[in-house]
Structure 1
């Protein structure tokens, strides 16, 4: 008798929530480092070919890679795109806006300033999303530690701007 995938996965030790967080944190940090590299590449590319063309090239390469990975991953599970709430697809508009701003800002204010400014916006909005539970996120009230973290990020922004 052949064991199913479910049988094998249930026999393996479950990953705890805190264990998963510890595994994902380095991956997320590496992804953040990738954004800094992307900013370093996009700034000069935008100056050479134009900011919109640079953005298109990044999304074109990314789309080609994702298409290839999707071909290898097999059939998609879940609802059809036509069944999804339209607000969930807003990210498709936000990604190119982010990359165009990254491409425009980096040559003028530098990679460090661009990244800390982006981080300020990301963390500030993320705290609000968590606090109010927007977009189906689990609600996490803003507490003193979160306010302090925001303050420190703004302080980092000011210090990098002055340095």
Structure 2
């Protein structure tokens, strides 16, 4: 049986990425981030109308149906069965709904911009730690002055958006 200790979190293989692929992925990730803002704008009113948990369930239901269709028509998938994976790798299934419920609750009260910059500050802050320590198989990237400055600027953006 595989151990679920914190030490095993660093044992995941990290794919190597060529620079051309990175240039293609960056705009897609930016567009996905824009999609999160649209999602927050849709979820807030939906949560007020039908309830926050029902709004979250509807978002995940639609997403699950789309993923099911994509899997159905994309052919056989390679990789281990879910029961062969370390349990910690499935934590995202728990974190996703929490994230969406928080989006649904917060957006009508603090606005989309404040919600997104607050989420961004949390994401970047935790991401810097994950990179620094190489958790979850990430390539280690030590926190340097530029990364500290980036975090400081995001916190400054959070303060400015909150005051504006």
**TM-score > 0.5 by shorter chain:** yes
Q: Does 1:161 align with 2:162?
A: yes
Q: 2: distance between equivalents of 1:19 and 1:68?
A: 30
Give 1:115's aligned residue. 116
Aligned-residue offset at 1:75? 1.3
Give the greater-gyration-radius structure (CA).
1
Give 1:18's aligned residue. 19
Give 2:143's aligned residue. 142
TM-score normalised over the length of structure 2: 0.89
Give 2:80's aligned residue. 79
Give 2:38's aligned residue. 37
Q: 1: distance between equivalents of 2:140 and 2:76?
A: 33
Q: 2: distance between equivalents of 1:79 and 1:22?
A: 29
Aligned-residue offset at 1:113? 0.1
Give 1:47's aligned residue. 48
TM-score normalised over the length of structure 1: 0.89
Superimposed CA distance per residue, residues 8-49 of structure 1 (whole angstroms, 9 cap, x where no aligned partner): xxxxxxxx7222111111100000000000000000000000
Q: 2: distance between equivalents of 1:83 and 1:118?
A: 32
Superimposed CA distance per residue, residues 70-108 of structure 1 (whole angstroms, 9 cap, x where no aligned partner): 001111211111110000000000000000000000000
Q: 2: distance between equivalents of 1:21 and 1:116?
A: 24
Q: 2: distance between equivalents of 1:17 and 1:70?
A: 26
Residues paired across the two proteins, number: 148
Aligned-residue offset at 1:123? 0.2
Give 2:61's aligned residue. 60
Structure 1's consecutive aligned runs of 4 or more residues displaced over 2 angstroms after TM superposition are none
| Unaligned stretches of 5+ residues in structure 2 | 1-16
Give RMSD over aligned pairs. 0.8
Q: 1: distance between equivalents of 2:75 and 2:21?
A: 25
Give 2:125's aligned residue. 124
